[in-house]
Structure 1
Amino acid sequence: MKISIILLMIGIIGCSGERVKPPIDRSFQDQNIPTQESWNATVTFSDSGKIRAILFAGHIRMYSDKNETLLDSSIKIDFYDINEMKTTTLTSKRGRVDDLTNDLYAFDSVSVESDSIIITTEEMMWRNKDRKIVSDKFVTILSPKEKIQGYGFESDQNLKNYVIYNITYITRRDTL
């Protein structure tokens, strides 16, 4: 009985003390938290029921207040033609999507490959409105017939019609 009275007294005394408020960290910035986040994701893009592209990304972070989606941990995008045949594959280490225009910006070790052409650069953009791949950086194009290097590049997403604006090097592949 004495023990229960002592425990009751300790409980009453312990509960009647002044409450301590924990400190609040006001340096926290909630705009750095993504609206949505996904790991090892596969996203399929379609138009009129036909597959137009499939995106594979190790990590996707969407920020609706900034209207952008960040992609990292190695990204790969397979592009498809109107007959749903894969035409081109773009790979890079990182990327960003403008959620207003749906333009894709690829950064760091960018490579675009079709069945016969490989283009490498450090930065490239895929423009949604005209489905063109563009870059103002140094690019290297390897085709079965030639190797071309230069600054500034534009192509259709199938790599059938491309232009380098400032060619710095060109050679035939049979001389390599």
Structure 2
Amino acid sequence: MVVFFSCKNSSKEINDFLADQNLPIGVAENINHVYKDSGRVTSRLIAPLLWDYTNRKLNPYSEFPNGVKIVTINRITRDSVTVTGNYAISYDLTRFSEIIGDVVVINHQKNATLNSEQMYWDQKEQYFFTESPFTLYTEKDTLHGVGFESDSSLSNWILNNTNGNFVVDNQEEQNE
């Protein structure tokens, strides 16, 4: 005796089931995603593992449990910024990301490197910030503190609770 079973589920039913079970709708390994604008590469996302939770109704997101590397390229100033971390989560609706664990942000053109254990990235506003301890290395300075804000090119900083050795340029004062 042979019995055949058939089930027919809509993609909505499958998505709802995966969301109810807190399972990703997709899993990708060894991703290397290139973003382009008008035929020019603007950024690259590299990660060993991506869990896709975009089936969530209220707050869809993507999770990178084994780390992430993001390289952004500004086509006007020709500079690039690299962000790496051991874990990341990126929310689709708000375009807000959290990067955790050995976070390193490097502006290659300005030779500036920021290290922290946690960093938030507002992709809409192109803005980094953290309330965690950080170390900022520049060509002349090494600064330590707790609490950091900057544009995504790591150019304009707001530093909180800082200490370290840094050079103050008095040239403007001397010209006045």
Please state which band the TM-score falls in when normalised by the shorter chain.
0.7 to 0.9
Aligned residue identity for 2:23: I
> What does the per-residue CA deviation read over 1:61-93, in whole Å, with 9 as the maximum and x for residues that have no partner?
011214111013231100111338351100111
Aligned residue identity for 2:44: I
Q: Which has the higher strand share?
A: 1
Aligned residue identity for 2:30: N
SS in structure 1 at match of 2:139: coil
Counterpart of 2:150 in structure 1 is: 155
TM-score for the superposition, normalised by structure 1: 0.75
> Which residue of 93, 97, 105 maps to 2:98?
105
Counterpart of 1:41 in structure 2 is: 31
- 1:122-133, aligned counterparts within 5 Å? 122-133=117-128
What's the CA shift for 1:48? 4.6
Q: Percent identity?
A: 24
Aligned residue identity for 1:165: N
Kindly name which structure, 1 or 2, has the bigger radius of gyration based on alpha carbons.
Answer: 1
How many pairs align? 146
Instruction: Out of 82-91 and 63-72, give the one that drifted further.
Output: 82-91
Counterpart of 2:139 in structure 1 is: 144
What's the CA shift for 1:109? 0.5
> Which residue of 50, 69, 79 maps to 1:60?
50
Listed as ranges, the gaps of 5+ residues in structure 2 are 2-17, 168-176
Aligned residue identity for 1:37: V
Aligned residue identity for 2:71: D
Q: CA RMSD in A?
A: 2.2
User: Given the superposition, is the C-alpha separation of residues 31 and 84 from structure 1 closer, same or farther in structure 2, using an over 3 Å criterion?
Assistant: farther
| 2: CA distance, partners of 1:145 / 1:109 | 23
| 2: CA distance, partners of 1:84 / 1:36 | 36
What's the CA shift for 1:172? 4.0
